[in-house]
Amino acid sequence: MSFATDVKDEISNITLSNSEYIAELSAFIRNNEHMIDGHILLYTENMYTAKRIYALLKRLYGIHAKMETKQNTTFNKNNVYYMEIDDKVDYILKDLSVIDEEGNYLDSPKEYIIDSDDEIKAYIRGAFLAKGSINDPKTSQYHLEFLFDKKYESVLVQRLLNGFDLNCKILLRDNKYMVYLKDSEKIADFLKLIKAYKSVLYYENIRAYREEKNVINRLNNCEQANTEKIIQTGLNQLRDIEKIEKELGLDILDEKLLVAATYRKKYPESSLTELSEIISLETDSHITKSGLNHRFRKIKEIADKIK
């Protein structure tokens, strides 16, 4: 079972006011209905969503939609739940602001459908039940999307979502209009918005685990990079020392540079900090990391002058 299914299962079982039920049903039917011989045909792959839409039609309009279950022929093999409405069709479509009094499809629902924040949230919830999907936070990327057939509906839902500062974008994909979010915090806000509170807890726990893991990985990568840098620095210094030793001999170095060269050859993989501590301890002569680095710069200058 996918995370998107879990979210839809959860929000298909919450209790709302009648005005919120109307807004939710309006969004679902506006984005799901197919007219066949004057009948409304609805479908969903989610059993709980099918039960909710059936219950809302009965509660709000006193009708019993015809229900039928078929197995999906696509690769996922999920069941598809079909509902057919053959009673009060014209009244329902007008009341839910799908069509106007002349039977023309409306680009956006009438004001009374989304008159308050709660009704707007209900409308978004219904749109998600019809056209929404969300990645499991365990996957490689955070992603929430609505995939609409109609451009005007994508613009409407984007506007409603962004009214809650979610900053959704629209993208044309395969002749459909995708309203999407990739920001993990905004997706968590969306789940709170539609009252998917159990899903929020799961999402936030996984997100916190992933972020902690990412921090650990970054620290490990940083440590690895520092180790490689230390080794490379030591190798470069050894090459300078070997060049001087081969061409001129180390006797040309003054006492301080000779000590640095001798200890670098003895401890090739040590960092400057470690090497300065070793020299200070073994020679009883204190030298700092910066002081030791200065000596190696002098050695490099001598090596660079050798042709």
Domain of residue 87, residue span: 3-195
Does 89 share its domain with 183? Answer: yes
**70 three-class SS:** strand
Does 191 share its domain with 229? Answer: no
Quote the pLDDT of residue 74: 62
List residues bridging with 178 in a β-sheet.
147, 171
Q: Return the closest-CA partner of residue 96 out of 72, 119, 64.
A: 119
List residues bridging with 172 in a β-sheet.
177
Taken in order 282, 287, 290, 295, is the CA torsion positive or negative? negative
Whether 201 is in a domain gets the answer no
Whole-model pTM: value is 0.70
Whether 53 is in a domain gets the answer yes
Whether 248 is in a domain gets the answer yes
Whether 203 is in a domain gets the answer no
Whether 204 is in a domain gets the answer no
Does 247 share its domain with 114? Answer: no
Whether 205 is in a domain gets the answer no
Rounded distance, CA 1 to CA 6, Å?
7
**Contact at 8 Å (CB) between 145 and 180?**
yes
User: Residue 111 burial by CB count (10 A; 0-12/13-18/19+): exposed, middle or buried?
Assistant: exposed
Of the listed ranges 38-47, 88-97, 106-115, 274-283, the least confidently predicted one is 274-283
Quote the pLDDT of residue 73: 65
**162 three-class SS:** helix
Structure tokens at 5: 């299914």
Rounded distance, CA 54 to CA 56, Å?
6
Output the average pLDDT for the chain: 88
Does 163 share its domain with 24? Answer: yes
Does 121 share its domain with 20? Answer: yes
Q: Read off the amino acid at residue 126.
A: G
Query: 143: domain CATH number?
Result: 3.10.28.10
Q: Where are the alpha helices (DSSP H) in the chain?
A: 3-11, 18-30, 47-61, 89-95, 117-131, 151-162, 184-193, 197-247, 255-266, 272-283, 289-305
pLDDT-derived band at 268 (thresholds 50, 70, 90) equals confident
Whether 237 is in a domain gets the answer yes
Does 154 share its domain with 227? Answer: no
Q: Is the pLDDT of residue 17 over 90?
A: yes
| Residue that finishes a domain, picked among 136, 163, 195 | 195
Phi/psi-derived region of residue 103, left when phi > 0, alpha when psi is between -120 and 50, beta in every other case: left
**Contact at 8 Å (CB) between 120 and 136?**
no
Q: Is the pLDDT of residue 93 over 90?
A: yes
Does 189 share its domain with 231? Answer: no
Q: Return the closest-CA partner of residue 132 out of 106, 154, 108.
A: 154
Does 250 share its domain with 187? Answer: no
pLDDT tens-digit map of 286-298: 889 888 889 889 8
What's the domain count of the chain?
A: 2
Q: Is pLDDT larger for residue 268 or for residue 193?
A: 193
Quote the pLDDT of residue 283: 85
| Residue that finishes a domain, picked among 161, 195, 229 | 195
Q: Is the pLDDT of residue 77 over 70?
A: no
Q: What percent of the chain has pLDDT over 90?
A: 47
pLDDT-derived band at 146 (thresholds 50, 70, 90) equals very high
Quote the pLDDT of residue 220: 74
Q: Read off the amino acid at residue 6.
A: D
Quote the pLDDT of residue 145: 95
Quote the pLDDT of residue 305: 85
Quote the pLDDT of residue 213: 67
How many C-beta atoms lie closer than 10 Å to residue 275's C-beta?
24
Does 102 share its domain with 222? Answer: no
Quote the pLDDT of residue 75: 59
Residue 102's contacts (CB-CB under 8 Å, 6 or more residues apart) are none
pLDDT tens-digit map of 24-41: 999 999 999 888 888 899
List residues bridging with 36 in a β-sheet.
39
CA 192, distance to chain mean position in Å, is 16
Does 171 share its domain with 247? Answer: no
Does 266 share its domain with 163? Answer: no
Does 185 share its domain with 248? Answer: no
